[in-house]
Amino acid sequence: MAFPNIKFYYQAAVIAPLLTHLERGNRPQWVTLENLAIKPFLTANLIWLHKRSRPKPTSIPAQVQLALQFRDLHRKKFETAKPLSMATPIEAMTYYIPTFHASPWKERGISHLAQVYESGKLLSFERLQATHNLPHTSQYSYIQLKSLLRAAHTDDITEAKNTEELSIWEQTSLTGKIPLTFKPFSGCYRLILPCQYISGSTSASQWEMDLQTSFTEGRWSSMISSVRKLIKSTPLIEQHQKTIYRWYMVPLHLHKLYPLTSAMCWRCKQDKVSVLHIWWRCPHLIRYWEDIQKIIAEAAGIQLPLDPKTFLLLDIPRGIPTNSKKLLYHVLLMAQKLIARRWKSSETPSIPNLIQEVDTQSMYETSFSKAYTRPSHLSNMRDQWRVWRSSNIQHSSR
C-alpha cells in the first residue's frame, strides 16, 4: 500500500496550474488575470527562464511566484535539454540578450527554440532564411542567439532530437495544448515523486554481477522511463519491470527454497542454472535470440549487439530514432514474454508466434494512437513493422 507523499502532493498542486499558462486558445479567465498582474511579463515565458535570469515583477501573484519556485526545484523533471529547453519561447531570449529583436522571428513563425534546430543541430542562418523567410536584418540577432547557445553549450543538442522525446511540459509549450492523456495534477505529482530507481537494489547489483558491468543510476532510470514513455501496453511494461527486478524464480532459486525441486534447466537439462542461463545462455535460446536480432535489423534497420544488456534489460545504444526504438522495445519485450509464458516447460518460443504477437501489439498501439494522439506521432512503429511484414511473409511459417 502506498501513502501519498504530502510534501510532493502539495508542490504538484501548486505547480500544475502553470501548465495551463502554456496552452493557447481558450484559456480560463484566471490565466488572463494572473498575466495582467505581471504585465509586461508573461508567465508562459518566465517558466522557461533560469532562476538567475528571470525578472522579478513587483506585482507577481503569490501563487505564481510559489509555483515557479517549486518548479525550479524539480526543473530536471520538466525539461529534457540542458541548460535551455527546446520549448523556450524565442521571445524569452530577450531576458538573456536585452538587445535581441524577437518580433521578426515570431512574425515569421519561429516561436520556440525547437524551430531553430534540426536533428539536434542549430540551423544555419541561410537555412532559416530559406525556410522561414527571415530578413537579412535578423542576421545580427541570429549571431547573438548562436553565441548565447554556444556559451550555454546548447548549440549541439544531443539529448532531445525530436519533439516526441520532449517532456509533457515542453510538448505543451510547443503545441499550445496539454496532451489528452496527461492529467496536470496527478501527472505533475508522478513527475516530481522521487523516482524509485532500481540502482543500488539487490536486483541491480545481481544483474551488474551477472553481466560483468555497472550502470549509473541515470542509466537504470533511463532504461525504465524510456520503456514507460514509448510503450502503451501495460503487460509489456510489466514484463520489463519483472525482468529488471528479477521477479521470476529460476531452477537454482527454486532448488534452494525446495530442495526436492530439480536445479536443472527445463530446456537443456544443465544443472544449477541461474537467471542468465534461463533467459539468455541456454543453448536452446541461441537461435531464438539470433533470429530476433535479424528481425530487428531488417524491420527497424538497427544492428543491435547480441548482448543480454540490450536484449533483456533494454539498455539500447544511444541515437536510435524514437520509432525504431518503439518497435524494438515491442519485439524484445514480447520475446521475453514468450519465454516467461513457457516457464518450467521444455518448449522454446517460436519466431512465428513472436511475429503474430507483435502484429497484435502493433494493432493495439495504432488504436491507441488514433484515440489519444495525433496519428502522425505513433503510426511509424506500425508502418515499419507493416513494411517488414509484407516483405517477409515467409517468416510467419518458419
Give the binding site for Zn ion (CB under 5 A): 265, 267-268, 282
Residue with Cβ nearer Zn ion (67 or 282): 282
Residue with Cβ nearer Zn ion (220 or 289): 289
For 59, the 3-state DSSP assignment is coil
On the 0-12 / 13-18 / 19+ scale of CB atoms within 10 A, 75 is: middle
Residue 398 Cα distances to 226, 268, 294, 349, 352, angstroms? 32, 22, 14, 12, 6
CB of 314 to Zn ion, least distance (A): 22
C-alpha–C-alpha distance, residues 233 and 244, integer Å: 17
Residue with Cβ nearer Zn ion (31 or 268): 268
HEC letters along 132-174: HCCCHHHHHHHHHHHHHHHHCCCCECCCCCCHHHCCHHHHHHH
C-alpha–C-alpha distance, residues 230 and 164, integer Å: 9
Q: Dihedrals φ, ψ of 345, to 5°?
A: -115, 150
Dmax over CA atoms of the chain, in Å, equals 83
CB of 389 to Zn ion, least distance (A): 31
Residue with Cβ nearer Zn ion (161 or 267): 267
For 117, the 3-state DSSP assignment is strand
Q: What cell was used for 61?
A: 501573484
CB of 249 to Zn ion, least distance (A): 15
CB of 283 to Zn ion, least distance (A): 6
Residue with Cβ nearer Zn ion (189 or 289): 289
Residue with Cβ nearer Zn ion (116 or 339): 339
CB of 269 to Zn ion, least distance (A): 7
CB of 243 to Zn ion, least distance (A): 17
